[in-house]
Amino acid sequence: MNNISLRLDKLKIEKKLGFMTHVVVGYPDLAGTEKLVLMMDKLGIDFIELQIPFSDPLADGPTIMKACEDSLRSGTKVKDAFDLARKLSPKISAPLLFMAYYNTVFKYGTEKFCKDAKASGIYGLIVPDMPIEENQSEGFFEACEKNGLIHIHVISPASNKKRLLINKKVARGFIYVTARQGITDAKKGLDPKITQYLKEVKSVFDIPLAVGFGISSRERVNMIKEYADIAVVGSAVLDIINENPKDYLKKVESFLEELKK
């Protein structure tokens, strides 16, 4: 069985909110990415996304775009992501996922990408610009499944009921709900439209919900707890790295510790 599924089962039994964190391969540098992942795993993070940097990341906001650009400028290659996964996976218990744009997968060769990812200890792929309609001619989901990888689908508050139902048919593992908008002041709580949306998503899908809504504090974790099975911490980590180039490791560690309390 895939380690993502095992971890999801474990969370369910223990009735605990899971955590997924995100790093950009090669940001702030390759050694730094490695240390971050080891530290995250030690803290008991449940899933770790390794984002393979891409020059034109359509789905990402400024923070992740900048991290991708910095990483590419310092010479990170797609091969480095596979090498890093191979190096890290035997040392950690959190399942690793690749987050990549479809061009990275396509250029590498879809079938080969999935095969090599699996061989490097990757358990799931998040490819946000591969919608279901295009998969018909690309065969990406099939390549994942053939190689024992879970393809994670990403939806947002812009996804209407029709899209939710279309995604429901193919989604595996957990459904990733993300947004670049919708967060009001941390103290004011979640926008009622967002809670309504999360309720709707929960009623449509029978797989767990991973929610990434600019989670940057314990308060925000509490806000989504009711509606989410997994809290996704994305750009907040990158912001800390960005602002603390010297002691980011310690800073990220205490930030995550606080979130998980």
Mask for 69-98, x = binds other proteins (CB under 8 A): x--x----xx--------------------
Residues within window 36-55 making contact with other proteins, judged by CB under 8 A = 54-55
Size of the site for other proteins (CB under 8 A): 43
> 3-class SS at 9?
helix
226 tagged catalytic? no
Angle at 48 between CA 61 and CA 134, to 5 degrees: 60
Q: Contact, 240 vs 29, CB < 8 A?
A: no
Query: Between residues 17 and 114, which has the closer beta carbon with respect to other proteins?
Result: 114
Structure tokens at 123: 């358990």
What sign has the CA pseudo-torsion 73, 74, 80, 81? Answer: negative
C-alpha pair distances (Å), 52 with each of 25, 104, 126, 133, 246? 6, 8, 11, 24, 23
Q: Which of 106, 115, 242, 251 binds other proteins (CB under 8 A)?
A: 106
Q: Which strand (E) or helix (H) includes residue 133?
A: helix 132-138
Q: Which of 131, 221, 145 is nearest to 183 (CA)?
A: 221
Q: Contact, 2 vs 150, CB < 8 A?
A: yes
- Residues near 153 by Cβ (< 8 Å), separated by ≥ 6? 167, 170, 171, 172, 175, 176
Q: Which of 9, 12, 16, 56 binds other proteins (CB under 8 A)?
A: 56
Q: Which of 19, 27, 108, 197 binds other proteins (CB under 8 A)?
A: 108
Asked if 196 touches other proteins (CB under 8 A), the answer is no
Residues within window 170-189 making contact with other proteins, judged by CB under 8 A = 179-181
Least separation in angstroms between residue 50's CB and other proteins is 15
60 tagged catalytic? yes
Residues within window 110-169 making contact with other proteins, judged by CB under 8 A = 128-131, 133-134, 136-137, 153-160, 163, 167
> Could you tell me which stretch among 100-108, 187-195, 211-219, 226-234 binds other proteins (CB under 8 A)?
100-108
Asked if 193 touches other proteins (CB under 8 A), the answer is no
Active site residues: 49, 60
Residues near other proteins (CB under 8 A) are 54-62, 65-66, 69, 72, 77-78, 101-104, 106-108, 128-131, 133-134, 136-137, 153-160, 163, 167, 179-181
